[in-house]
Amino acid sequence: MARKNNLLKPANALSEFNVNRIQSLLRCESDPVYFIREFMRIVHPKRGAVPFDLYDYQEEMVRCMHENRFSIIMASRQVGKSTVACGYLLWYAIFNKDKYILISSNKNSGAMEMIARIRFAYEQLPEWVKPGIDETNWNKHELAFDNGSRIVAEATSVDTGRGKSVSLLYSDELAFVRPNIQEEMWTSIFPTLSTGGSAIISSTPNGDNNLFASLWRNAEAGVGAFVPLFISWTRIPDRDETFKEDLIATIGELKWNQEYECQFVSSETMLFDSVQLLSTHAVKGTPDARQVMWWDVFKRGKTYLIGVDPSTGSGRDFSVINVFEFPTMRQIAQFRSNTMSSPLLFKTLKHIFKLAYRASVNHIYFSVENNGVGEGILALIQADEEPYEFVTMVSDEDSKRDGMSTTRHTKMKACLMFKTLFESKKLTIAAPELLIEMKNFIRKGSGYEANTGATDDCISSVLIIIRVLEEISKYEIEAFNTLYYVDDDSDYDDKEVGLPVIVGNSGIQSSGGFADPSDPSSFDPFLNF
């Protein structure tokens, strides 16, 4: 194949070396800062290709990337964090064999820009420093070298890194990725990284209820494997108070505080307390043959609450079944699928009932969201020729229809009850998908719903359970106590919620954990590498 670019070095091409060149390469191999200062060139808007003369804080960034397996860098706008990362990733690919380096950017255009910068930096290297290239994998998405190392760039998605043996992940502007994608991406890529890979995250803040904010706060507190580094706008030469005042006049103080002061600014109000959410960690469950995820088993003589939120199964919204033990209100199981039709969802529900029957549970109270899709599930339930006597379907008290009808009023009331139970620690969450949704469930208008790009189907299922609990509280004293009593020693402040909470000793003891806490391992990959 003819060479189209004379700045590319053919694979396995020989170079001439002398003592000075050998010594320089040996120093490069151990010192990425030396490599960048000595050999990397960048494009100056006026002067064209110029040496990359690192500022002190940029050298600090390189050291942080190099010396820590997991690093997280929060930096002001225009500090050159992406350019610094390009230099380090190029060094990593050149001086390490057989490495898969993945650039994950919030937008495809950002990923392509980073690949372009790395390609330019490679082309400007002296011939004797360049590795040969694999021309079959040298394109706008990928750079492959003859030492077996590759740099691949893509937009961040739920499938980022899935099925790949990633040696080094660089996540660019993670905070600007949709919140649900942030969490799902990290959950999917963690198994790869945990086997020996490394990760670098760099971003400017973008709100306070996303994964980047959570990872940064944990790192600052010394929790988990990530090592934090903060780069302020004040470290950039020629930036002073005049610069600050002029820019605030242009972009506003709110944007300045977020993008230059690196504050976790949010104009959104979360339903659930963010501090408690950050301290709540999901637990790794066990799937059964029907892909129901279990954190505990049904137990003889126990009572359970089940909420069903169906969807069309078209691949968009999720059908969710949640199972909670009563009165401890511990989540013991969850089913979640966006491809399952109503008949199959009904079979899954019957599967759960059958397991409860075999365990000789005392009783199950359940309900179904009776929207258009839910009518199909309800019809199958009503036509069921093998109903279980220990199973009771709970419906709205004043409704002529089976199941639960959701209005703005009933949803808001259930949301506040959910908040009360969670923040008073009378309800225990296990599922990671549910926790993700809770972190992105925000005030919109006169109600609460999922943040843009996020989902709330797991929450909807729990809200059905909350409403079941409310209905049975009219004749079940334990249900009434669960909803309306807070222990005397509780530090929960009910004034913010506005519910009729009665302070007293209910006599109900919540386990606050799982049947065998030594068995399930923490699911939170950001705390347990």
479-499 as b/e: b if 16+ CB within 10 A: bbbbbbbbbeeeebebeebee
For residue 153, which of 212, 94, 85, 205 has the smallest C-alpha distance? 85
DSSP state of 270: B
pLDDT at residue 318 tops 50? yes
Q: How far apart are the first and last CA of the chain?
A: 45
Query: How far is CA 117 from each of CA 41, 243, 368, rounded to the nearest angstrom?
Result: 10, 28, 54
In the block, residue with structure tokens 């930036």: 239
Query: How far is CA 469 from each of CA 107, 349, 472, rounded to the nearest angstrom?
Result: 44, 19, 5
Q: What is the pLDDT of residues 29-72, one digit of tens each?
A: 999 999 999 999 998 878 888 999 999 999 999 999 999 999 99
CA distance 217 to 285: 26
CA distance 465 to 482: 13
Lowest mean pLDDT among 68-77, 132-141, 198-207, 410-419: 132-141
pLDDT at residue 124 tops 90? yes
What's the burial of 332, exposed, middle or buried (CB within 10 Å: 0-12/13-18/19+)? buried
**Mean pLDDT, to the nearest integer, of 109-127?**
93
Residues 6+ apart with CB under 8 A from 424: 486, 490, 492, 494
Alpha-carbon Rg for the chain, nearest whole angstrom, is 28
Q: What is the pLDDT of residues 471-508, one digit of tens each?
A: 999 888 888 888 887 554 444 444 333 333 333 222 22
Whether the ω angle into residue 387 lies within 30 degrees of 0, i.e. cis, is no
Q: What is the pLDDT of residues 341-395, one digit of tens each?
A: 888 999 999 999 999 999 999 999 999 998 877 888 888 888 887 788 999 999 9
Under DSSP, is residue 511 helix (H, G, I), strand (E, B) or coil? coil
CB 64 within 8 A of CB 199: no
For residue 307, which of 442, 470, 449, 448 has the smallest C-alpha distance? 470
Neighbours of 135 (CB within 10 A): 16
* Domains of the chain, start order: 23-237 (3.40.50.300), 274-503 (3.30.420.240)
